[in-house]
Structure 1
Amino acid sequence: MTDFETITVPARLCGYPGVAFGGYVAGVLASRAAAKTVRVDFRRPVPTDSPVRLAPTAAGGAELAAGDALLAAATPAEPAVEAPAAPSWEQATAAADAYRAAPPDGMVDCFGCGLHRTPDTGLRLHCGRIPGTGLVAAAWTPGPGVADAEGMLPPELVWGALDCPGNAAGRLLDDRRAGAVTASLTARLLRPVRIGSQLVSYAWLLGSEGRKYRVGTALATADGDLCAVAEALWVEPRT
C-alpha cells in the first residue's frame, strides 16, 4: 500500500484499557469508504497512543494496519438490518437509571459506556433493559466536549453510539459474560446528529451460537426518528 495516512487513537478513546474504542475505529474507517453502508471487520485489537497505518483499498474500502499486521478492514456492504421502533425517551431514561443503579460486573472505563465518563468525556451509553420488550436502551445527550467544529456529533462517534449497546444486549438479553469484543459492525448513517440533542441508543438480539452472538443496534432522536442503524457480531472471550 502506497497511498496511506498515519493516525493515532488517543488514550481517552479506549474501549478496554490500551485498546481503541471499536465504534470509533469503525467510524474512522467507514469515513474513507466509498459507500453509504459499510461493514468493518476487526482482526486484531487496535492500540491507543500508537501510530497505525490507514489506507484505501481497490474495492472502495479501507484498511488499518500496524506493520504487516492487518487490524481492521472496511468494505462496502448491503443496508444494515431494519430497526424496530425506538423506546420512548422516558423508557430509555428509566432503563439507563436502572443500569447505573446496579451495573453488571466487569465494567471498564470505556469511552462508549464507562460509568465514570461525563457527557464531555464519553458517550454514556448505559443501556438497561426495557421491561416487556426484547430491547436494551439508554437515553443520553452528547456534550460540547465531543462536538466537531460545526457543533455536530462527528460521524465516527455516531458509529460509536452503535457499538456498546450490542454488548449490553448480549449481557442483559443473552446472559453473556464480561469481556466480549466486536468482531464486525455494519452500519448506515441516516441523518446528522446535533450536540445537545436528546438521543436514544438501543439494541436487540438477532441470534446466538456458541461464543458468538449477533445484534441489531440503532440511534434515534427522542421523537423516534432514526439517525443510524447497524448490525454487529460479538464474540465472548474463551474460558
Structure 2
Amino acid sequence: MSPRTPHFVSLLLALVALPLVSAVAPKPAHDWVAMFNGKDLSGWKSNEETPGSFRVEDGAIKVADGRAHLFYVGPDGAAEFVNFEFKARVKHMPKANSGIYIHTTYQEKGWPAQGYECQVNSTLHGDPRKTGGLYAVADVRDTAPVADGVWFDYVVRVQGRRIVIEIDGKVTTDWTEPADWDPAKTLTNMPGRRLSSGTFALQAHDPDSIVYYKDLFVRRLP
C-alpha cells in the first residue's frame, strides 16, 4: 500500500490526535474512602474537652455528653482536603444538636475556629438553625427536613467556592462563597468561616444531645 493512500493518511492523523484528546480529558474523581471502620475510632482524634463524648455503639459513632470535637486525621494522621464529596448516615435523637465541620483543623477546646459547620440539629432542639444548613451562613430555619430517631443520608460537596448539602437526596443548601467574602465583617465571632483546606470534625454539643454517625465516606474531587 502506498503511504500516500487516503487510508494511510487517515490512520496517521488519528494516531497524532490521540495524545491531544487524552491531554484535555477531565480527571476522574477519586474512589470513595471509608473514614470509619465500624469498630473503633481509628483515624479520628478527639480533643477530649468533655472526656468520653465519642464512642462506638452498634457499628456507629455515638456523639453525646458535653462539648467536644472529633477530628478526622486519617490513617497517616495528616488528612487534608480541598475539593471533595463526603457522605454519611446520620440519626439525631430528640433535643440533639451537632455538626459536621469541613475545611477545619484540630484544636484543643472551643468551637472550631476554622472552616464551616454543616448543621445537624433535631426538630426539638431550641436552636432555630436546623439539619442541612450551613451554620450562620445559609441556614435551614425552624424545621428540620428529617424526623428524630431515623437514619438519613447526609452529603456535603465542596468544589471551588461552591458548597452543596443534600439530605436524603434533596438539596437543602447550595451556596457559593463570594470572591470578596470577609467573615470577620459578615459574621459575629466567626472570622475563620471560609474555604481553604482542612479536614472534618464531628461535634458533641451539650449534655442533652445524642447523635449517631455511620457509613462515613469521602472522595477527592478534581
Query: Structure 1-normalised TM-score?
Result: 0.31
- As a proportion of its length, which structure holds more helix? 1
Larger radius of gyration: 2
Q: Which has the higher contact order (CA 8 A, sep 6+)?
A: 2
